[in-house]
Structure formats: structure tokens, C-alpha cells
Amino acid sequence: MKKLFIAAMLFVGIASFAQDMDQKPSREGRERMTPEERNEKQLQKLTSELNLDASQQAQVKQLLADRSAKAEKFREARKEKKDSNTKPTAAEKAAFKKQMEDEVAANDAKMKSILKADQYTKWKSLQEERKDKMKDKMKERREDKI
């Protein structure tokens, strides 16, 4: 009887451990969205969170499309550099960082011109929340690797 009980407990323990391992979603299993789908999803989310009107939606949609096109260009240039096995110099890294900061500032200014004051402050707070969430996720990943 003891052996049966121990075997049952061992089985339950292994089964629960196996379920825990499956709980973490894998990146490979997810389907990639097209840039248009990502933009549309982001527009819907911003519309519901900030209560955008039709005119604002059109302007934000254009802004998202421009931003994703620029991001794709940056990605392609970075991929070419990586494929050619040339590491960027410190000056190139600094220039790229400056360019990214300029892009963020330009995007911020455009959003400020599109949104009303209360919508803009809410958008900025949502961005800060997302930034904090991403920092926490990155911290978790680093801890998991150790």
C-alpha cells in the first residue's frame, strides 16, 4: 500500500512539474503579424485607450505607417551590417543612437500636435507604464538565464 501511495505521489509531482514547464509561451510558436496588422492593432488600442475621434484616428494611422516604414528601413540596414560581419564603430553606434532619439522626439512632437492635452498626458503615462513593464520583463529574462 505504501508503494502504491508513493508511486501515486511521484506521478502527481512529475505531472505538475511538466505542466509548469509548458506554461511559458515560446516565441517560435506565435504567428508573426504583418506591419499593417500591427499598425491596425495599435491604432485600435490607442483609439480605445485615448478615445480618439475619426480625424485623430486618420492622423495616428498615417503616423504609425510612417513610423513602421522607417523602422523597417532601419532593420534592413542593420541586417545588412550584420550579414557583412562588420561591427559598428563607437562613432556609428553614437550616430545611430542620436538618430533614434531624434526619431522618438519627432514622433512625440507629432503625437502632441494630433492629441488633445489630456489625451497626450494619458498617452505619455501609458508609454511610461509599458516601458516599466518591459524593463521588468528584461530583468526576469536575465534572472532566468542565470
Q: How far is residue 9's CA from residue 145's CA, in Å, rounded to a whole number?
A: 30
Query: Looking at residue 110, what is its pLDDT?
Result: 92
Query: Looking at residue 44, what is its pLDDT?
Result: 92
Query: Looking at residue 9, what is its pLDDT?
Result: 76
* Domain spans in the chain, listed from the N-terminal domain onward: 36-126
Task: Tell me if the pTM is above 0.75.
Answer: no
Query: Looking at residue 25, what is its pLDDT?
Result: 55
Name which of 92, 62, 94, 98 is nearest 77 in CA terms.
Answer: 92
Query: Looking at residue 29, what is its pLDDT?
Result: 55
